[in-house]
């Protein structure tokens, strides 16, 4: 069996069994293809790689000026790939298991402030079907903290009252709540815009102008369009709405464990990065409220 066949089987596993998003699968594919090219160029065999070969590969990655985060991602991709090969009896060795990931460079999540969010919410035209959809997307991303890949996969049947069933990473199920603002727009959209867009009896909530399911890329495109119509001058991504959700919850006193559960993080450490960006507010609260903080 060829190395490319192994890769194809692995990508199908990620798609159909792990339910990974198309962007995540593409990232795995790029990392592994680069590695397979390296293996061939250096007269190595995929199933006979030793630890000393991995050290040479890491040196190759460093020579290409990859940062620590990129190298860590590539190692993780290859570790998962070999784990798949081992579990399927193709090899009995995962050479990347003993490879330590380089230290992560701390990168604080970027988020929108309240005034920026209000400006964005006011852009979509609620008199149009696409405007209703776009406003609902903003409300849902900020109001629930779901990932874009989770948002585009919401089905009408997943919604119960003000609660949505979300199928997250690794097919893990969780439920998220949404409030009055999102609910108001949802009802407008379902009674009007959704009926205009749902010409093909789709089961999905968010549809595009071609009456088919909206994609991750489509969400990024419409968010760029919304931002272009505001005074906001910063590089943005849809994930910033998820960051804003978490940051604003913590700023308003929500505990870290609850935020972890709402975000669908497996570990608390993944959520703790948000505590770094609330430090200034905590200092401010302390000096304003503690009886012995000032004279």
Q: Are 226 and 123 in contact (CB under 8 A)?
A: yes
- What average pLDDT does range 85-91 have in this prediction? 93
Lowest-confidence range among 48-52, 153-157, 240-244?
Answer: 48-52
Q: Are 202 and 101 in contact (CB under 8 A)?
A: no
pLDDT bracket for residue 292 (50, 70, 90): low
pLDDT bracket for residue 66 (50, 70, 90): confident
DSSP 122-176: TSS-TTSHHHHHHHHHHHHHHHH---HHHHTT-BGGGEETTEEEEE-GGG-EEEE
Q: What is the pLDDT of residue 9?
A: 94
Instruction: Give the integer Cα–Cα distance in Å for 18 and 5.
Output: 19
Q: What is the pLDDT of residue 238?
A: 86
Q: What is the pLDDT of residue 89?
A: 92
Model confidence at 106: pLDDT above 70: no
The DSSP call for residue 213 is: B
Model confidence at 279: pLDDT above 90: no
Model confidence at 282: pLDDT above 70: no
- What average pLDDT does range 241-252 have in this prediction? 88
- What average pLDDT does range 119-144 have in this prediction? 96
pLDDT bracket for residue 102 (50, 70, 90): confident
Q: Which domains does the chain have, with CATH numbers?
A: 3-87 (1.10.150.130), 114-283 (1.10.443.10)
Share of the chain above pLDDT 70, in %: 93
- What average pLDDT does range 86-113 have in this prediction? 84
Model confidence at 283: pLDDT above 70: no
- What average pLDDT does range 80-96 have in this prediction? 92
Rounded to 10°, the helix 129-144/216-228 angle is 100
- What average pLDDT does range 2-17 have in this prediction? 91
Instruction: Give the integer Cα–Cα distance in Å for 122 and 128.
Output: 14
pLDDT bracket for residue 76 (50, 70, 90): very high
Give the closest residue to 61 by CA, choosing from 43, 51, 73. Answer: 73
* Tens digit of each residue's pLDDT (9 = 90 or more) over 27-64: 999 999 999 999 999 998 998 898 888 988 988 888 88
- Contacts made by residues 252-260, CB under 8 angstroms, sequence distance 24+: none
pLDDT bracket for residue 163 (50, 70, 90): very high
pLDDT bracket for residue 138 (50, 70, 90): very high
- What average pLDDT does range 274-289 have in this prediction? 66
Model confidence at 172: pLDDT above 90: no
Model confidence at 162: pLDDT above 70: yes
Which residues participate in catalysis according to the annotation? 147, 169, 239, 242, 265, 274
Higher per-residue confidence, 106 vs 175: 175
Q: What is the pLDDT of residue 171?
A: 80
């Amino acid at each position: 069996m060829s190395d490319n066949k192994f890769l194809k089987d692995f990508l199908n596993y990620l798609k159909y069994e792990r339910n990974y998003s198309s962007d995540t699968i593409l990232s795995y594919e790029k990392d592994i293809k680069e590695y397979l090219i390296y293996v061939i160029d250096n007269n190595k065999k995929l199933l006979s790689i030793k630890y000393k070969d991995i050290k040479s590969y890491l040196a190759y990655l460093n020579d290409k000026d990859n940062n620590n985060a990129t190298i860590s991602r590539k190692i993780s991709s290859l570790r998962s790939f070999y784990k798949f090969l081992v579990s399927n009896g193709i090899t009995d060795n995962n050479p990347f298991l003993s490879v330590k990931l380089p230290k992560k460079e701390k990168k604080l999540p970027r988020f929108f402030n309240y005034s920026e969010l209000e400006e964005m919410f006011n852009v979509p035209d609620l008199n149009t079907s696409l405007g209703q959809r776009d406003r609902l997307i903003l409300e849902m991303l900020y109001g629930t903290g779901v990932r874009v890949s989770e948002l585009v996969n919401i089905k009408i049947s997943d919604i119960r009252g003000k609660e949505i069933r979300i199928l997250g990473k690794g097919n893990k199920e969780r439920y998220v709540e949404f409030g009055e603002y999102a609910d108001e727009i949802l009802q407008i959209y379902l009674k009007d815009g959704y009926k205009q867009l749902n010409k093909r009896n789709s089961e999905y909530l968010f549809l595009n102008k071609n009456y088919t399911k909206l994609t991750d890329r489509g969400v990024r495109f419409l968010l760029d369009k919304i931002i272009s119509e505001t005074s906001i001058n910063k590089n943005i991504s849809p994930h910033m709405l998820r960051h804003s959700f978490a940051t604003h919850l913590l700023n308003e006193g929500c505990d870290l464990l609850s935020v972890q559960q709402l975000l669908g993080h497996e570990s608390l450490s993944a959520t703790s990065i948000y505590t770094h960006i609330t430090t200034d507010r905590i200092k401010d609260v302390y000096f304003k409220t503690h009886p012995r903080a000032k004279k």
